[in-house]
Structure 1
Amino acid sequence: MADPLSASMTIAASGLHAQSQRMRVVSENIANADSTGKTAGSDPYRRKTVTFENEFNRVENADLVRVKDVGKDDSPFRVEYEPGNPAADVDGYVKKPNVNILIEMADMRETSRSYEANLKMVTQTRSMLMRTIDLLRNS
């Protein structure tokens, strides 16, 4: 049987890693929210999405989380009339990324809170481990 403190650290570490990857994807989406294609009529940046999955760790006897896939959002691009833009098609329309800043900011807030919760779990587990060591030393 696995040590509960070790298992909780492993679970929290998997959450930290997964949320870190998610934050990178959200940041990339925000950074490319106004980018356009390089040539006239070409497709711009397409929003990326993150899919998580459970992974059972037999050593710790615990369910962990990991990033299953970084996919692409197939929703349509925004189209704006900008005839002077080098990325404009023959009719003067430019395709803009399918990134909605409000959604990305909400994802960023949720990711940040999940990361903080996992970090708090690591801190609490470490504190419990240190208290146990102190009790064993003093007995």
Structure 2
Amino acid sequence: LDLYNEGILLDSLFGKIYEGGLIYYLNTDDGSGMVSAPEDQSNQATMPEGEIICEELVLNGYNDWELPELYYLILMYENLHENNLGDFSNSRYWSSDFHYPTAAWYVNFQNRIYDLAGYAVQMHVRATRSFH
């Protein structure tokens, strides 16, 4: 990102619109990073439904959205939600990381607690995509 190379503080880039979404992660070595969709894709989706919703999403000219891995979902919480960016709900959000054949990890955006839940539980979904 040219802005970072011009000396802009990394924290000030979080929440800025770039390549279809809100920046929440930037690799300062190579300029790659991750953006979150600007809004939730669903507030009542099972984990498999959430994956499909994200994979089929075409938003702001991009069609390579996906359900975030747990690590990146936590970064969304820390770098966007905790700074009142991204209009997240104080609810549970699915990650794409599964642990058992019928359970996956989620993050509670009310308190940053993450845990496992059965695939059939309905939660919020927020898509992510990478940029290079």
The interval holding the TM-score normalised by the smaller chain is under 0.3
Instruction: Tell me the TM-score normalized by structure 1.
Output: 0.23
More strand by share: 2
Structure possessing the higher radius of gyration over alpha carbons:
1
TM-score by length of 2: 0.24
